[in-house]
Amino acid sequence: MRQLLFLLLFIPSLLIAQEDQKYLAGAVPEDGGKVIFTKEISMPSLSKDQIYNVMYTWAEKFFSEEGRRLVYSDKDKGDIAAVGEEYLVFQSTALSLDRTLMDYRVTIECEDNSANIKLAGIRYEYNVSYQREPEKYTAEEWITDKYALNKKKDKLNRGNGKFRRKTIDFADEMFRSASEAFGVKPAAVTVPAYAVTPAQEQTTQVVTVPAQNIAQVPASNNTEVCQGLSAFEPGKVPSTLLNMLPDSKMEVTPAEKENLEEHYATWKEMGKMFGKNIASISISPESEVYKAIRDNDIYTISFKKKDDPETWFMIQCIKQGESSEGAQKIVIGEILNVWIR
């Protein structure tokens, strides 16, 4: 009788331990120090165009919800890109709500017989009751094995373990949804329920950019100096510098119309899309600068510190696409050059 009682008491702990196994060592994949969740959907009987058509139809629907948007598509290359902003809910009761705002990027590369989906650029904003400003984390510094697991790698840490769990659940659910677009239902995979709520109550208009031949503009080498600034490799800008950009004064200038300057655009982020370094900004569609920057046009984004009139950081981009976010336009450009003082 005592053995039976012990077994009954032990079963709940055993079930919890088994459930946690999928969130332990190796559950958050890293590539070159970046957190990148990947999924390859193999469809041996389908051509590249057929794969693309299925993925584009799925992406149009999946990224039409509030906070999600399709930002780029090129059928010839088989590429699709989207971004998302939504809440992951850890706990919700009548008296309290524990959640985090998660930003992310998704890229899809379609080939003959397969589609490759990547979820990356994950960032979190987490409101703490005793602080005015939310705490901000990147996936690389918050949910990797190094930071989210205990020393033995057999348990989730109490604080950030919940971020890791919900992010993995979200990735699994998105990949499952994409697979089912082909009529494929993953076998022997249990996806725990996760809670996601819209990050904003507004209608998001999806805009896709027609495929075009992108102008080939040579990037500078690291010895070039522009306006007293030294060139820097775009993919290796330290996060400490990137964190300073939202607090700096930003100007956007078209290369062909240097007399135009936009001072009211806002910085979004720097990241990667289809292996290319990209930068995105939010700008009014009524702006003369926005109207002057067409697809494949070159423009610069300059930053000045609030107490310093000199430019300290400058990015040269070539426009790749755009999307709508409320009344604003999100312009995405491939980074050609970066200069830092």
More confident residue, 212 or 164: 164
Least reliable range by pLDDT among 48-52, 183-187, 322-326: 183-187
Q: ∠ CA(104), CA(322), CA(118), 5° rounding? A: 30
Q: Per the structure block, which two tokens stand in for 312?
A: 């300290």
Is the pLDDT reported for residue 312 higher than 60? yes
More confident residue, 216 or 115: 115
According to the per-residue pLDDT averaged within each range, which of 11-15, 46-50, 235-239 is highest? 46-50
For residue 8, what pLDDT is reported? Answer: 44
61 within 8 A of 54, measured Cβ to Cβ: no
Q: Which residues pair with 115 in a beta bridge?
A: 41, 110
More confident residue, 12 or 96: 96
For residue 206, what pLDDT is reported? Answer: 36
More confident residue, 139 or 17: 139
* pLDDT interval class at 19 (50, 70, 90): low
For residue 231, what pLDDT is reported? Answer: 87
How high is the mean pLDDT of the chain? 82
266 vs 97: CA distance, rounded Å: 30
Residue range 146-151: mean pLDDT, rounded: 93
Residue range 60-81: mean pLDDT, rounded: 92
* pLDDT interval class at 3 (50, 70, 90): low
CA distances (Å), origin 140, targets 34, 144, 272: 6, 6, 15
More confident residue, 203 or 51: 51
Task: Rounding to the nearest 10 degrees, give the CA dihedral for residues 239, 241, 247, 253.
Answer: -110
DSSP secondary-structure letter at 287?
-
Return the closest-CA partner of residue 72 out of 82, 85, 57, 63: 82
For residue 182, what pLDDT is reported? Answer: 86
Question: What are φ and ψ of residue 197, in 5° steps?
Answer: -125, 150
Helix 161-180 × helix 48-62 angle, to 10°: 130
* pLDDT interval class at 186 (50, 70, 90): low
* Strand, helix or coil for residue 129: coil
The DSSP line for 149-195 is B-TTSSSB-TTTHHHHHHHHHHHHHHHHHHHHTTT---SS------E
More confident residue, 276 or 36: 36
* pLDDT interval class at 94 (50, 70, 90): confident
Q: Which residues pair with 96 in a beta bridge?
A: none
Tokens 């002057």 locate to 292
According to the per-residue pLDDT averaged within each range, which of 20-24, 105-109, 185-189, 215-219 is highest? 105-109
Question: What are φ and ψ of residue 28, in 5° steps?
Answer: -110, 105
Burial class (CB in 10 A: 0-12, 13-18, 19+), 167: buried
Least reliable range by pLDDT among 47-61, 189-203, 218-232, 287-301: 189-203
- How many percent of the chain have pLDDT more than 70? 81
- How many percent of the chain have pLDDT more than 90? 53
127 vs 139: CA distance, rounded Å: 17
Q: Which residues pair with 98 in a beta bridge?
A: 91
Quote the strand ranges of the chain, DSSP E.
Answer: 30-31, 34-35, 37-42, 68-74, 79-92, 97-111, 114-126, 135-138, 195-198, 225-226, 229-232, 249-254, 266-273, 276-283, 298-304, 311-325, 328-340
More confident residue, 4 or 247: 247
108 within 8 A of 79, measured Cβ to Cβ: yes
Q: Domains plus CATH for the chain?
A: 24-198 (3.30.530.80), 225-340 (2.30.110.10)
